[in-house]
Amino acid sequence: MSAKPTQEHAMNATGPADEIAPLPYPDGWFALCFSRELKPGTVLTTPFMGRDVVLYRTASGVACAVDAYCPHQGAHLGHGGTVDGEQIVCPFHHYAYGPDGRRATARCPHGAQGLTLRTRHVREWNGFVFVWQNADGLAPTWELPDVDMTGFSAPVGQAFTLRGVMQNLPENGYDLEHFGALHRWKDMKPHAPVIDGPRISMQVEMAWKNIRWSTLIGVHGLGCVSSDHEMKAIGLEAKIFACGVQIAPLRWTFRDGISFRFSWLSRWPAPLQRVVYAALGRLLHRLWLVPVFKEDIMVWSNRDYTGYGTPGAGDGPYPVFQRWARQFYPGGDRTEARHRAAHADAFAGK
């Protein structure tokens, strides 16, 4: 993944997203950085649901995620911490911890016994580093899907930090009405959403600039969206990845990526394909993905997410998605229902 620094987008001005009540933090898999940002020996601090998480990569290439503070005397591992082989070393007393969180006694023979650094489950997926979150501390109950990237270009992407709530991102593909109104796409023909536990998917056919294309929008928990696009008229297939993570009650980070292949390029020599794909990848990202997402971000960053009513029958797949999404919040359906009711009461002055 070609990574760029996270951009602060629409963060300086106040707006509705700073005035509303936040949603609870959801459970699931969430991307905290691009894989390319985490080279062997790198120690990276990233905000995650109201606290810091420290990511590092061992000498053998294993990506790890741990609590930011050393259990010995609370030094922040992201400020001066280092990687020594397969261990992360605290800057304060040089206590070292392995990928399982256990203290390496050989490095600190006189330290307190039984110290354990809290670790998090990590998955690397198509150029992103994901960590698992569960409010009850449970181990992962589901996995991100395998994606066949054969013949596709290396992903190109960037990151934005936004106001508001991250559920704007995964539900975006199921709000069909905004495709025409905001993005000017036409002739949408959606299929019924298919739900498989923590996953939901939907096939949509549409047109853009008189080019027909088919899209399969897959959402895996609330932190990962992968969509497959096919434009047969120009021989293009594209995979777009969009990952959101709530970093504070009303702040979230959005990371995107695009990979693609042209059928006609498959006949070219492999070295030439790589050169062309590298150039076209940056171009497609800048001319296709960035303009579309910027239109969405304009709305997301200034949206009163909880102030609207229950979607009606005319909203198509949207209410189906909303009901599915509630499973990821503590308390399930009841949590979001109480949240929306409380917000409605506040508007009514109760």
CA–CA dist 123, 53 (Å, integer): 15
CB 126 within 8 A of CB 134: no
CB 255 within 8 A of CB 153: no
Nearest by Cα to 172 from 10, 260, 298, 344? 298
- DSSP 8-state class, residue 297: H
- Residue 321, CA distances (Å) to 118, 156, 165, 238, 316 in order: 34, 28, 16, 24, 10
Q: What is the amino acid identity at position 42?
A: T
CB 250 within 8 A of CB 300: no
- pLDDT tens digits for 49-78? 999 999 999 999 999 999 999 999 999 999
Cβ neighbourhood burial of 336 (10 Å; 0-12, 13-18, 19+): buried
Q: What is the CA radius of gyration of the chain?
A: 22
CB 57 within 8 A of CB 50: no
Nearest by Cα to 88 from 74, 99, 79? 99
Average pLDDT over residues 211-218: 91
Average pLDDT over residues 78-96: 97
More confident residue, 15 or 101: 101
Model's pTM, two decimal places? Answer: 0.86
Using DSSP, how many helices (H) and how many strands (E) does the chain show? Answer: 7, 19
CB 175 within 8 A of CB 262: no
How long is the chain? 350
Delineate the domains of the chain, giving CATH numbers in brackets. 1-30+149-350 (3.90.380.10), 31-133 (2.102.10.10)
Tokens of 42: 């790198």
Residue 114: the pLDDT is 78
Highest mean pLDDT: which of 100-114, 220-234, 278-292? 220-234
Residue 180: the pLDDT is 75
Least confidently predicted of 9-13, 119-123, 233-237, 274-278: 9-13
CB 96 within 8 A of CB 90: yes
pLDDT grade, residue 14 (50/70/90)?
Answer: very low
CA–CA dist 226, 57 (Å, integer): 25
